[in-house]
Structure 1
Amino acid sequence: MPFSEVVVHDTEHGFEDVTSWFFEDYLSRWVTAGAEGLPPEFITGYWAAPLWVNSAEVGSVLLPTAEAVVEMLSGMQSRLRADGYSHTVVPDRRITVFHDRGATIEVIWSRRRADESEIERLAVSFDVIKREDGWRAVTIQSKNTDANRLDDVWPVHRGSGPQGFSSHVTSSGVSYLSAGKGAGPVFIFTPGYRDRAEAWQWAARPLVESGHRVLLVNRQSAPAGEFASAKLLEFYAKQVEDAIEDAGLCAERVVLVGQSMGGPVAELAAVRTTARVEGLVLVNPAPLGGSQLPPELLEQMKAGTAISGAGEGAESKLGLTVQKGEVVRRRITYSIPEETPESSLQSLVSWVEGHPAGKRNSPVLARTLLVVTDDQFFAEDMLRSVVAPRFTNVEIGEVRGAGHYPHLEQPQLVADLIGRFAEELR
């Protein structure tokens, strides 16, 4: 399930800094200590003293010293170990970054045994600050829950702005983020394989700041047992259509943008929607007619659908990039969705086997921008010879110094290219 994340921050660095600290450092240490019975004193590197702890079930308590903080954690982890604690799953999370030294992190913790049976599920909110010695939680609030989404525990209603995204869910359960205002076309972004909508935020934000409205649409899981690729792609395209309708854009000028498997989804959505499609942007797109992968690679990718950890998934995706620095690694890790192996396999099947419409010329008559990079997975020669000829009004844009994920590797260049394309539509 995609996270119902709301991200508001002044600097990209502040967001990536606190997200990495919390989910890659703190959570990992907490789980290891809880499962293996390590000394609880490590927590003083993550929880401040004094620390306010407020539970809906128990009430509030002030832990005035580091010793009191350690004692509380020791009791909590002893209780969990006695119940067979093994690991924690995060069904949903939401992050608000106020500036590079302050944030609120909200999560749903599903604490589980090795056999995946659940011990307890809590919604928890952490207020965190960055001191000279690093990030620390200064207040923790929690309540027991059986929900999968934070919006079902404590809804957030937040207006959009040039540096923020508001979270929405359609009546059919499709989640999307929106931001910005403006008279120009609205950009509708669809994610690629094993990406969530938030992966587009770094390329979308410059468009918001230049006066555009954007929607980042998450991909919801298809019905269980459905593996007909054409039906899957139509199902994903319908989700984009639902988000456009929910956002009140049916009569507006829109540009649909898709990367990798998001490309065929964006093309099908352009055909389905009643909105005025003025442009289509395909970034390293999977061919709508399907992708002929070597059998050994396909088997490897099918096996990879069982990978649930963001770290393992990030290493696989990093192999398709040109830029391999820490910032790109963090963006990739953050962008990997929480989804079941079946949902991941359905996504894989959809773009590998494709849609019959991809064997014909596209009915999309709007201007189409095909973005090519130094990607070796969907190579430029293939995109120019297989994808481009299907479109009546197509032009080629280049983003160099990026591989398969230019929106994560070179987001400003992607935004600049899309922005120039939009200017030419006016």
Structure 2
Amino acid sequence: MLFKMLKTGAALAVLASAPAFAVAETAAGNDANDKTNMGALGISSDLQSVIAKFATAQKAEFDRETTEAEISSWFFDVYIPTWVAVGNGELDRGPEFVLDFWSTPMFVTGDEPYMALWLTEDSHVVEFLAMQHRFLKAKGFTHTHVPDSKVRAYNGLGGAVEVIWSRRAADNSEIQRYVVHFEVAKMNGTWKIIGGHTRTTDAEKDGDTIDGAWAL
């Protein structure tokens, strides 16, 4: 029912209950002061135990440029080519491939269709991707042009990517155009998209820039 509503473009606001916390990958130190420090920050003993259980590495000094280069390489050299190749049929993989790049749960909002929802199961994440690919294939989708992009690292394990998606057919005509803000996090050694916010935009008005697109 959820995806039928999305396909028809009906307005919706589906807010499923998200987990209280989801530990992706922590870089907590191993010294005896960790619990004391977390307690001073008001972190409960239960959450301290979860953080300690899932801590995987000694905290490293944050290098913004290195982290942003890492996010950029993963996103533009691996994720986008795979998404496009599956979407246009060049790569023979099912929609389940997206679980390598999108997290479960994942939060998404958008204006067309109008939506705000948690995708809380792998099957929901996969179908959310599959319905996009079905639509684009029917329109003759072959490639995605990215006229502008921005990458920001919040810390060594989290960041954001903003892009203008210009999804196009073989004759370079535009099928869809969105400006998108992706939240990304490093999980088990690899980056994943954990949320996204999209808005339709217009090439004649946005000037091929992210700032111009968000200003519309």
Q: Normalising to structure 2: TM-score of the pair?
A: 0.65
Structure 1 or 2, whichever has the larger Rg, is: 1
Instruction: Quote the offset at 1:119 in angstroms.
Output: 0.3
- AA at the equivalent of 1:27: I
The question of 1:40 aligning with 2:98 is answered: no
Extract structure 1 runs of 4+ deviating beyond 4 A. Answer: none
1:282 maps to none
Instruction: Quote the offset at 1:28 in angstroms.
Output: 0.5
Deviations 1:47-75 (A, max 9, x none): 00001010023120110011110011011
1:197 maps to none
Task: From 46, 63, 81, give the equivalent of 2:137.
Answer: 81
2:6 maps to none
* Alignment check: 8 A CA contact 1:15 1:97 kept: yes
Superposition pairs of residues 70-219 of structure 1, within 5 angstroms: 70-146=126-202, 147=206, 148-154=208-214
- Structure with the higher fraction of residues in strand conformation: 2
State the alpha-carbon separation in 1 of the partners of residues 108 and 118 from structure 2.
6
Task: From 123, 142, 149, give the equivalent of 1:67.
Answer: 123
The question of 1:17 aligning with 2:77 is answered: no
Superposition pairs of residues 24-423 of structure 1, within 5 angstroms: 24-36=77-89, 38-57=93-112, 58-146=114-202, 147=206, 148-154=208-214
State the alpha-carbon separation in 2 of the partners of residues 133 and 77 from structure 1.
28
State the alpha-carbon separation in 2 of the partners of residues 92 and 82 from structure 1.
26
Q: Which has the higher contact order (CA 8 A, sep 6+)?
A: 2
Deviations 1:226-260 (A, max 9, x none): xxxxxxxxxxxxxxxxxxxxxxxxxxxxxxxxxxx
Instruction: Quote the offset at 1:22 in angstroms.
Output: 0.2
SS in 2 for 1:143: strand
State the alpha-carbon separation in 1 of the partners of residues 163 and 173 from structure 2.
19
Percent identity, aligned pairs only, is 36
Instruction: Quote the offset at 1:38 in angstroms.
Output: 3.1
State the alpha-carbon separation in 1 of the partners of residues 115 and 64 from structure 2.
35
Instruction: Quote the offset at 1:100 in angstroms.
Output: 2.0
SS in 2 for 1:24: helix
Instruction: Quote the offset at 1:133 in angstroms.
Output: 4.2
RMSD, matched Cα: 1.4
* Alignment check: 8 A CA contact 1:10 1:97 kept: no
* Alignment check: 8 A CA contact 2:71 2:151 kept: no
Unaligned runs of 5+ in 1: 1-8, 156-426
SS in 2 for 1:38: coil
* Alignment check: 8 A CA contact 1:48 1:136 kept: yes
Q: Normalising to structure 1: TM-score of the pair?
A: 0.34
Instruction: Quote the offset at 1:132 in angstroms.
Output: 1.0
* Alignment check: 8 A CA contact 2:99 2:125 kept: yes
2:10 maps to none
SS in 1 for 2:146: strand
State the alpha-carbon separation in 2 of the partners of residues 114 and 17 from structure 1.
31
Deviations 1:137-157 (A, max 9, x none): 1111101001211111226xx
State the alpha-carbon separation in 2 of the partners of residues 59 and 154 from structure 1.
18
- Of the structure 1 ranges 16-25 and 32-41, higher mean CA displacement relative to structure 2 is found in 32-41
State the alpha-carbon separation in 2 of the partners of residues 11 and 50 from structure 1.
26
SS in 1 for 2:214: coil
State the alpha-carbon separation in 2 of the partners of residues 77 and 46 from structure 1.
15
* Alignment check: 8 A CA contact 2:167 2:176 kept: yes
- AA at the equivalent of 1:60: A
Deviations 1:245-294 (A, max 9, x none): xxxxxxxxxxxxxxxxxxxxxxxxxxxxxxxxxxxxxxxxxxxxxxxxxx
